[in-house]
Structure 1
């Protein structure tokens, strides 16, 4: 179980690093966010992760840690798969 938890932490840290390293490509891409938009892209990822950490821990204590971990990884994977379909950096789709 310890190796699995370490692997999950490595995955999250790697994704934060990947977002930071992809900022030049994001700014030159089709979305073309402003500097404030780039800041929100990075900060919103970490903010959402931090805000969901305590509730996920409480759910893990109540219903089982394995289920909470798998649910969190599922939400993480869904967000990663849906992010390339973004309409813009700061607006909802028309």
Structure 2
């Protein structure tokens, strides 16, 4: 069942896509979008190195697609994702 987003006024909007947080910056914002292959490689690396997951690809088997993770591992992964974003922002400013 797709999730629905709420506008600030509380009205339902279009159903969220598979990856609702992925977007490209508004035109004229001065921000450079991250290349999809760089994003994918970073997310896969964090999944492997921090969460100790073999892959993030859907394999259509509960035993392969669902994992128990300690909250500290999830926190570590979120912190690493934040650091990767900060590095990317710093790198793009220097170009």
Query: Quick check: TM above 0.5?
Result: no
Bigger proportion of residues as helix? 1
What TM-score comes out, normalization by structure 2 length?
Answer: 0.37
Which structure is higher in strand share?
2
TM-score using structure 1 length: 0.37
Question: Greater relative contact order: 1 or 2 (C-alpha under 8 angstroms, separation 6 or more)?
Answer: 1
